[in-house]
Structure 1
Amino acid sequence: MLRPSPAPVPALRSVLAALGSPTAVREARTPALRAAQGPLSPELPLPVHVLGVTGVPGRAPRTRLAGWRFLIRSGDRAIAAADTMLTPDGWTFSHFFEGPYVTATERALLQAEALPTSYQPRLLSVPELYMLTLWLHADPEADATTAGLHADPEADATTAGPAAADLLVPLAPAPPGIAAHRPYQVADLLPVLSTRLAPPPLLGSAAPA
């Protein structure tokens, strides 16, 4: 069961304004959006958090809020998505896009809706691995703009990683060796990502014991 958080009102308004602008839609690199017949509606807003490289051995990667993403629905399916970003003047429209992650996000949300436990849906992006996951946060009442529940004492709330009770569902296409659309416990998947994100050892450095 999913309990999504409402997106910031300015973010939604910026997407609605872009959808209502023939110039913005015409210039978007989204053939499906330009060819759509009938009304278009932004739905299923999800906060997008980015998992970063720490560069510190033994420390899990941290996350930061990068924006809000809306699936753009035409009829009974999502045909594109719209990203928004935070600027000094507040939330604003960034760009439209389409591709496999749009369909995969919709599929993963439908799968998660059937789970017996309530989760708050988010997206977790891992740019260095060309990876996107549906992040199912175990506290549906949490602030969706912050990260997990086990923040590093030296870090603020917006840089904590996923909590132990959360689930991560890699979207297709997923990196080699990671199954798409399979719910992973954080303890099972995050160490794999941390290892792949770890910087290579310096030349001439001693091998670990």
Structure 2
Amino acid sequence: MPLHVPPAPAPALRTVLTALGSPTAVREARTPSLRLAQGPITPEVPLPVHVLDRITPAGASATRLAGWRFLLRSQGRSVAAADTMLTADGWAFSRFFEGPYIAATEHALGQAETLQQPYQARLLSIPELYMLALWLHGDTAADGADGHPASADLLVPLAPAPPGIAAHCPHRVAELLPVITHRVTPVAPVTPGPLLGSPA
């Protein structure tokens, strides 16, 4: 079943194209694979990046759109990625980067293409766990910039995943969210009781 990739805002794409056209921006980026790429580089597969800010007492997730990420492809493969962010003046280029999440994102997208149900592709960042997941949203017609993970949506943790959470294993939000909740909920300090043998 084809995976649906939501259209990125045109101004966000323009900022990436402008940065790619700037020798200074490319040269100063800490992305050797981008600097060494042969042939044209094109931004593809725009994915809205949502951040999980908190989980409410009722167990719902409070997320916000942080930006759009574009995979940068050259000669049929992804060599790096470009992030954009929303500022008071509109969309702005944020950074070029490379690393394990590029290949992990491509791998997870390939997995999603084999699923029977259609999904809309997004990314979900959980900063407290240093975790990034491909978020497969069930409403393929939704605005990629809006919404919260629904219980039937799928999350595919990208490698490297936090200890105890299997990378590239799809989980329903209803199953994975309690695990995330447990991990990010601070443990209440234990108030020590009176020592045995001491006056109460």
Give yes or no for contact 1:43–1:73 (8 Å, CA) kept in 2: yes
Structure 1 stretches lacking a partner, 5+ long: 149-161
Do the aligned residues in 2 keep the contact of 1:57 with 1:198 (CA within 8 Å)?
no
Q: 1:174 corresponds to which letter in structure 2?
A: A
What is the aligned partner in structure 2 of residue 100 from structure 1? 100
Q: Does the CA-based 8 Å contact 1:86-1:92 persist in structure 2?
A: yes
Equivalent residue of 1:53, what SS? strand
Residues 53 and 198, structure 1, Cα contact 8 Å, conserved in 2: no
Identity percentage over the alignment? 67
Q: Distance between the aligned counterparts of 2:50 and 2:96, measured in 1?
A: 18
Say whether 1:175 aligns with 2:162: yes
Distance in 1 (alpha carbons) for counterparts of 2:24 and 2:154: 39
Q: Which residue of 2 aligns with 1:72?
A: 72
Name the counterpart of 1:124: 124
TM-score scaled by length of structure 1: 0.88
CA contact (8 A) 2:159 2:167 kept: yes
Distance 2:192 2:153 in 1: 36
**Structure 1 74/60 Cα, relative in aligned 2: closer, same or farther at 3 Å?**
same
Matched letter for residue 164 of structure 2: G
1:133 partner letter: A
Contact 1:48–1:65 (CA under 8 A) maintained in structure 2:
yes
CA displacement, residues 58-86 of structure 1 (integer Å, 9 cap, x when unaligned):
54331110000000001111010000000
How far residue 163 of structure 1 moved from its aligned partner, in angstroms, is 0.2
C-alpha RMSD over aligned residues: 1.6
Q: Residue 198 of structure 1 corresponds to which residue in structure 2?
A: 185
Question: Which residue does the alignment assign to 1:21?
Answer: 22
CA–CA distance in 1 between the matches of 2:38 and 2:82? 18
Query: 1:168 is matched by which residue type in structure 2?
Result: L
Match of 1:43 in 2: 44
Aligned residues: 192
Q: Deviations over 1:27-60 (max 9, x none)?
A: 0010100111110000000000001235x64543
Partners of 2:3 and 2:22 in 1: CA distance:
32
SS for the counterpart of 2:54 is: coil
Structure 1 consecutive aligned stretches of length 4 or more whose deviation exceeds 6 Å:
none
Per-residue deviation at 1:126?
0.7
